Amino acid sequence: MIGIELITEDILPLKHSDLGEKALLWLEELKVSHLPVLKGESFVGLVSEDDLLDQSDLSKSLTELFDHLPRPYVKGTSHIYEILNVASIEHISVVPVLDDEENYLGSIQIADLMQSIANTGSIKEKGGIIVLEMSDSDYSLAHISQVIESENAKILSSFITSNPQSKKLELTLKINRIELGGILRSLARYDYHVKASFQRNNHDEDLKDRYDELMNYLNI
């Protein structure tokens, strides 16, 4: 998925001439913490609820209130991972999407983005999750795949997390098998340290209901 495919019609941009009062009202109505500000078709920046609440006179226009606004954005061709990275680094609830000439195309709401990720095949597919901890030098997804495939299973998805203060990394694997016992034993034989594992069980429906409730809350 790329940026242009994830744009939501629910997020309406503000104009640079709009009053601070209007901006704050829209933020409250849309249940977001940020909104894009435009001058014509050009993206001026993102205004946040916190920035507005710091102002003493919201009867002024956004141009009068702010000399400049932060300009985090992604391109329409940006991959979903890049969009997640920008949202995480900038701590924003809405990600503006621009074309190659930096004209505003629309915005992506983070709640909708998470829903799109949750709807991908690898997440919806039944299976188990294994978290491995290892040093950078021991990481080889090709070898780990061979070990897992030797147990007649496949990796549906994987991602790496690391701590800058540690030489260790964590590799999270989604496996297309519900029962992970044989896979865990095989990994142990090759000295892979299994930090955690999660298997599907009778509580799946309850967990799904709780997830749906969370997504409904985010969309309020």
**pLDDT tens readout for residues 89-100:** 999 999 999 999
- CATH assignment, 3-117: 3.10.580.10
CB 87 within 8 A of CB 95: yes
User: Please, what is the average pLDDT of the chain?
Assistant: 88
Domain spanning 121-206, CATH architecture: 2-Layer Sandwich (3.30)
Q: Give residue 167's pLDDT.
A: 80
Q: What percent of the chain has pLDDT over 90?
A: 67
Q: Give the Cα separation of 56 and 121 in Å (integer).
A: 49
Beta bridge partners of 162: 169
Q: Give residue 202's pLDDT.
A: 44
> What one-letter code names the amino acid at 39?
K
Residue range(s) occupied by CATH 3.30.2130.10 in the chain: 121-206
Residue range(s) occupied by CATH 3.10.580.10 in the chain: 3-117
Over residues 81-88, the mean pLDDT reads 91
Instruction: Report residue 137 as tokens.
Output: 């030098």
Using N-to-C axis directions, what is the helix angle for 204-218 and 110-118, rounded to 10°?
Answer: 160
pLDDT tens digits, 107-152? 999 988 888 877 765 667 788 999 999 998 889 999 999 999 999 9
Q: Give residue 116's pLDDT.
A: 80
Is 76's pLDDT higher than 80?
A: yes
Q: Is the pTM of this model over 0.75?
A: no
pLDDT tens digits, 159-195? 888 877 778 899 999 999 989 999 999 999 999 999 9
Is 214's pLDDT higher than 70?
A: no
Q: Give the Cα separation of 116 and 84 in Å (integer).
A: 12
Instruction: Report residue 18 as tokens.
Output: 């709009």
